[in-house]
């Protein structure tokens, strides 16, 4: 009768529910097996010191739930056909709950991105991290509040999963005015990563190849691999992807897609010059290969006006333009967008329905109103000035040291630094400073399949922290180098 002990059960429940809970748990964990006989109601009443009618009520509850059954002249017993999820023996239940094995087949696995944990560090030098403290939450709250006060009820239901008409129109105008991208349909996505994933699923299959820069954006490469494609490293130098090597790989292989970050190459920050853009586009046109242009931080370019996206001069409509508001707002906003030709936009919107149907409508409406008001661009100018100041401050500090070689980037949110005068590698340095609360990214984390790395470079984000905090974190990195 020890398995029917009520002493450890929640005393706020009625007695009959306490009894039902004890018996149910005994069946779940294998103490009572299918077909086992239960003590009579009279015996349970006597041993547990509860009223017989209370016992009967608890047993009736279990009968109604399908755990036990009652037979005339036999009494109560555990049903023979227990639910599958509750029929594991005790040892197997514990093993399953400890995630020591799964009893179903996994055919695809995602890849864990280490930058997801970067926010846990006191000094977060992740290269694409905006400073969320700079975001005007109170200002933006008024636009979200207005979207809720005057909701467009037709948009709140199921419907157009390409995004709200208001936000798509604002994005279309924004691209026309700031980037020269016209005659494109806009599809709103759950960040740029969803956009990359959708394109991968639609354009790639097992055996296909994707041309990417030798050092690239790991989540994009994971999306290509997940679609069954092989990632092919194209050589790059201090100007970005090298067209002659791309041509050789196209001729030799089965390249079906080209992935580029031309404005601020990820992770090295260099800008792909016009001549190379034209050469790459010519190759793509000749072989009818689509190009994903990932323009992830177009707004933050300081030395001059940024080069227009490749999508702004795309007569063959080969360029799939992807960008995000994560750097302007905050990553948790999860608002990205694609600028596509009409035919492909319809295909993307149809496929998107399989994933999440539609994005957060209130967020879209609030963002659309923020953009329409002009406050969006005013905030963007303010933040751009702040990031420029932080870049100059970072460059000034680094120039006083003898630890790194680098070229000050024309824009972006990070610096690409080569270690010098040290015996420690970049990956060893990244691991060493973690114990001091510092997160940095190293070269090997960005290597594409088949590419070789020197393990001498780190990517150091400067946008996400104040000048003082950047200096404190940098001092820890320099100290780690000095004791190596």
d(C-alpha 357, C-alpha 162), whole Å: 9
Q: What is the pLDDT of residue 161?
A: 87
Separation between Cα atoms, residue 237 and residue 272, nearest integer Å: 10
Specify the pLDDT at position 466: 96
Residue 85 has pLDDT above 70, yes or no: no
Q: What is the Cα–Cα distance from 184 to 443, expressed in whole angstroms?
A: 36
Average pLDDT over residues 451-479: 96
Residue 115 near residue 126 (C-beta atoms within 8 A): yes
Q: What's the pLDDT score for residue 102?
A: 60
Mean pLDDT (whole number) for 222-243: 96
Say whether pLDDT at 429 is over 70.
yes
Where residue 99 falls (left for φ over 0; alpha for ψ -120 to 50; beta otherwise) is: left
Token pair of 104 as six digits: 């179903």
Examine domains 136-377 and 378-482 and report if their fold is the same: no
Residue 29: pLDDT over 90:
no
* Burial classification of residue 343, based on how many CB atoms lie within 10 Å of its CB (0-12 exposed, 13-18 middle, 19 or more buried): exposed
Tell me the pLDDT of the chain averaged across its residues: 90
Q: Which is it for strands 319-324 and 336-340: parallel, antiparallel or unpaired?
A: antiparallel
Instruction: Check residue 158 and give its pLDDT.
Output: 75
Domains of the chain, residue spans: 2-97, 136-377, 378-482
**Cβ atoms 223, 229 nearer than 8 A:** no
CA 220/CA 228 separation, integer angstroms: 13
| pLDDT exceeds cutoff 80 at 240 | yes
Q: For domain 378-482, which CATH number applies: 3.90.1150.10, 3.40.50.12780, 3.20.20.70, 3.40.50.2300?
A: 3.90.1150.10
Nearest to 71 by CA among 27, 28, 38: 38
Report the alpha-carbon angle 390-445-438, nearest 5.
45
Residue among 270, 274, 211 at smallest CA distance from 238: 270
Question: In the 3-class helix/strand/coil scheme, how is the chain assigned residue by residue?
Answer: CHHHCCCCCCCCCCHHHHHHHHHHHHHHCCCCCCCCECCCHHHHHHHHCCCHHHHHHHHHHHHHHCCEEEECCCEEEECCCCCHHHCCCHHHHHHHHCCCCCCCCCCCCCCCCHHHHHHHCCEECCCCCCCHHHCCHHHHHHHHHHHHHCCCHHHHCCCCCCCCHHHHHHHHHHHHHHHCCCCCEEEEECHHHHHHHHHHHHHCCCCCEEEEECECCHHHHHHHHHCCCEEEEECEECCEECHHHHHHHHHHCCEEEEEECCCCCCCCCCCCCHHHHHHHHHHHHHHCCCEEEECCCCCCECCCCCCCCHHHCCCCCCEEEEEECCCCCCHHHCCEEEEECHHHHHHHHHHHCCCCCCCCHHHHHHHHHHHHHCHHHHHHHHHHHHHHHHHHHHHHHHHCCCCEECCCCCECCEEEEEECCCCCCHHHHHHHHHCCCEECEEHHHHECCCCCCCCCEEEEECCCCCHHHHHHHHHHHHHHHHCC
Percentage of the chain surpassing pLDDT 70? Answer: 92
Distance from first CA to last CA of the chain, Å, rounded? 66
Q: Residue 88 — very low, low, confident or very high, per pLDDT cuts 50/70/90? A: very low
Please state the φ and ψ torsions of residue 57, each to the nearest 5 degrees.
-65, -40
Average pLDDT over residues 321-326: 96
Name residues whose C-beta falls within 8 Å of residue 332's C-beta, 6 or more positions apart in sequence: none
CATH class belonging to 136-377: alpha beta
CA-CA distance, 207 to 191, in Å (whole number)?
27
pLDDT of the residue at 103: 62
The per-residue pLDDT for 144 is 95
Is the domain covering 2-97 a CATH 1.10.10.10 domain? yes
Q: pLDDT tens-digit profile of 377-411?
A: 999 999 999 999 999 999 999 999 999 999 999 99
Q: How many whole angstroms separate alpha carbon 477 and alpha carbon 479?
A: 5
| Separation in Å, CA 123 to CA 19, 132, 350 | 53, 14, 42
Residue 211: strand pairing partners: 232, 258
Instruction: Express each pLDDT in 123-174 by its tens digit.
Output: 999 988 899 999 999 999 999 999 999 888 777 777 788 999 999 999 999 9
């Amino acid at each position: 009768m020890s398995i029917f002990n009520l002493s450890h059960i929640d005393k706020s429940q009625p007695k009959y529910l306490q009894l039902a809970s004890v018996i149910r748990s005994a069946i779940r964990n294998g103490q009572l097996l299918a077909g086992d006989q239960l003590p009579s109601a009279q015996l349970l009443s006597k041993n547990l010191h509860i009223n017989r009618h209370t016992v009967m009520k608890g047993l009736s509850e279990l009968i109604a739930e399908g755990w036990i059954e009652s037979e005339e002249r036999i009494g109560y017993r555990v049903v023979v056909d227990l639910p599958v999820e509750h029929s594991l023996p005790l040892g197997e239940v514990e093993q399953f709950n400890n995630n020591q094995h799964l009893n179903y087949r996994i055919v695809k696995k995602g890849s864990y991105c280490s930058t997801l944990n970067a926010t846990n560090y006191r000094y977060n030098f992740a290269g694409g991290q905006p400073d969320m403290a700079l975001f005007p939450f109170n200002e933006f709250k008024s636009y979200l509040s207005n979207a809720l006060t005057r909701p467009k009820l037709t948009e709140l239901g199921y419907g157009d999963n390409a995004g709200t008409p208001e936000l798509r129109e604002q994005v279309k105008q924004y691209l026309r005015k700031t980037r020269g991208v016209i005659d494109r349909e806009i599809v709103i996505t759950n960040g740029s990563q969803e956009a990359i994933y959708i394109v991968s699923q639609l354009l790639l299959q097992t055996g296909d190849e994707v041309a990417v820069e030798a050092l690239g954006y790991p989540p994009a490469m994971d999306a290509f691999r997940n679609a069954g494609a092989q990632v092919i490293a194209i050589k790059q130098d201090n100007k970005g992807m090298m067209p002659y090597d791309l041509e050789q790989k196209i001729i030799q292989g089965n390249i079906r897609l080209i992935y580029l970050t031309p404005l601020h190459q990820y992770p090295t920050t260099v800008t792909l010059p016009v001549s190379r853009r034209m050469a790459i586009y010519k190759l793509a046109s000749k072989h009818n290969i689509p190009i994903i242009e990932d323009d992830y931080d177009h707004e933050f370019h300081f030395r001059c006006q940024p080069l227009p996206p490749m999508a702004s001069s795309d007569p063959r409509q080969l360029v799939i333009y992807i960008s995000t508001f994560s750097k302007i707002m905050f990553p948790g906003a999860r608002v990205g967008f694609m600028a596509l030709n009409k035919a492909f936009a319809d295909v993307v919107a149809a496929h998107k329905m399989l994933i999440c149907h539609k994005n957060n409508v209130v967020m879209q409406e609030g963002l659309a109103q923020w953009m329409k008001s002009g406050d969006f661009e005013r905030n963007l100018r303010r933040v751009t000035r702040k990031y420029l100041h932080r870049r100059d401050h970072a460059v000034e500090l680094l120039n006083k040291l003898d630890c790194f070689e680098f070229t000050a980037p024309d824009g972006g949110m990070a610096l690409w630094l080569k270690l010098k005068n040290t015996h420690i590698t970049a990956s060893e340095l990244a691991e060493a400073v973690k114990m001091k609360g510092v997160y940095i990214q190293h070269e090997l984390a960005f290597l594409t399949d088949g590419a070789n790395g020197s393990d001498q470079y780190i990517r150091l984000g400067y946008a996400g922290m104040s000048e003082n905090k950047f200096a404190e974190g940098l001092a820890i990195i320099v100290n780690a180098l000095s004791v190596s």
